[in-house]
Amino acid sequence: MSDKVITLEDLQAHVDKNNLYLLVSGKVYDVTKFVDEHPGGDEVMLAEAGKDATEAFEDVGHSDEARSLMPDMLVGSFEGIELKKIKKASSAAVENAVQQGSNMMYFIPLSLLGAYFAWRFYSTGQ
Ligand code: HEM
């Protein structure tokens, strides 16, 4: 059972309080029975349903005790790469594009300035 592969579609079909999966560190957990007992409350868990809850889970600094509850709830592994990585990769691509754009923004005025000084230098030298 634990080697089952969970697709994004599966994950997003379990976003209900009575039928709730959470994706943490590439693994998918069925927290339906636990959600009412969760010391952090049900709302935070519901807010992370259908997406990668790793960051929210780690930000809280869950104890080893909290982590030890998780193997019993394991359903399987999330398909392919983690959602967080997809997000990171796409934002890196956007940053690259922005970076290239701003390089051009500096390059054009700087080369005009360079040309102006070169012209002044040569024209006053004569
Ligand atoms: C299978 C997943 C999860 C399990 C087994 C779990 C379990 C626990 C446990 C046992 C605690 C008590 C403190 C501790 O032992 O660290 C706790 C606290 C907490 N959890 Fe989770 N949790 C899970 C997922 C999440 C997620 C996705 C969030 C989203 C933000 C979250 C938010 C919190 C918060 C805010 C607290 C602190 C409550 C307080 O100290 O008042 N938990 N959790």
Q: What is the pLDDT of residue 124?
A: 72
Whole-number pLDDT of residue 86: 54
- Mean pLDDT per 10-residue run, the chain (126 residues)? 84 97 97 98 97 97 98 93 58 68 80 90 73
CA distance 37 to 104: 55
For the chain, the structural domain boundaries read 4-80
Where residue 61 falls (left for φ over 0; alpha for ψ -120 to 50; beta otherwise) is left
Measured from the CB, is residue 69 less than 6 Å from ligand 1?
yes
Phi, psi of 63 (to 5 degrees): -70, 170
- Specify the fold of 4-80: Flavocytochrome B2; Chain A, domain 1 (3.10.120)
- In one-letter notation, the amino acid at residue 82 is E
The pick from 38, 42, 59, 64 for probing ligand 1's pocket by mutation, whose C-beta has the most ligand atoms within 8 angstroms, reads 38
State residue 121's pLDDT score. 86
Strand partners, 22: 29
Residue 121 C-alpha to ligand 1 middle, in angstroms? Answer: 69
DSSP structure class, residue 1: -
For residue 31, give the ligand 1 atom closest to its CA: 1
Atom of ligand 1 nearest to the CA of 67: 5
